[in-house]
Amino acid sequence: MAILYGFHAVSARLKQNPASVEEVLYDQTRKDKRMQQFVDKAHSAGVKLTPADADRLEKAAGHRQHQGVVAFAKAVQKSTDLFEIIETNGADTLILVLDGVTDPHNLGACLRSADAAGVHAVVLPKDKSVGITPVVSKVACGAAETVPVITVTNLARTLGEMQEAGVWCVGAAGEADKSLFQMKLTGPLAWVMGAEGDGLRRLTKEKCDELIHIPMVGSVESLNVSVATSVCLFESLRQRQFSAL
């Protein structure tokens, strides 16, 4: 059973798979337009709506950042066969690999950018990585429901298998000589992004086909992993869809 909370995360599930939502708790004291629109949407989807007070909502969500909306839903089955996804999408394949991201806010933001940029799957290592928690789902604003998230035991080995399947693996590393804007980012591609602070692990870095840095002209030395991910993904999207315009 999955616990979703916040307007974006719950609304996304109601839109994409209302049958999976077993019950929605909502703040019975809120009479504002946003809550009323949400309640109307849930009614239209045919889900069970239960008025709840602040204590029950906080207990269900695990903290206070629920915006007055908490849903209990069945896990949605998405394809988790990475190589089936690669074969299906062919030359358009775009994968995001996150090497040890442990902050749920960062993972949620990465998933949101991945959805917006058309990423077909996100790959996470089993160890030293946050999974899909309620916080991740809330920050992702529904993207955790749409982008397949695949957890692997050995990330370096998985990168090697992706390369054998024809995917070019590009890692982001501040010390790299080549700039992001010097890269051709069309064709089957996997972006490999490192953890907060430490960046890519040695073995992961060694498995990448190429390493790039993001050019920066300000005083800061690096970008947050979710921001760096967005920059790289949207440069890929620009080259794939808009470079000829």
Tell me the CA end-to-end span of the chain in Å, nearest whole number. Answer: 46
- Structure-block tokens of residue 148: 């397949």
**Integer Cα distance of 126 and 133 in angstroms:** 14
**CA geometry: angle 13, 143, 80, nearest 5 deg:** 90
Return the amino acid letter for 135. V
- Is 170 in a helix, a strand, or coil? strand
194 is in an annotated binding site: yes
Contact 146, 140 (CB under 8 A): no
223 is in an annotated binding site: yes
**Integer Cα distance of 92 and 236 in angstroms:** 11
- Structure-block tokens of residue 245: 């315009």
3 is in an annotated binding site: no
Distances (CA, A) of 52 to 24, 101, 159: 10, 34, 46
Query: Which residue ranges are tagged as binding site?
Result: 194, 214, 223
Query: Which residue ranges are tagged as binding site for S-adenosyl-L-methionine?
Result: 194, 214, 223
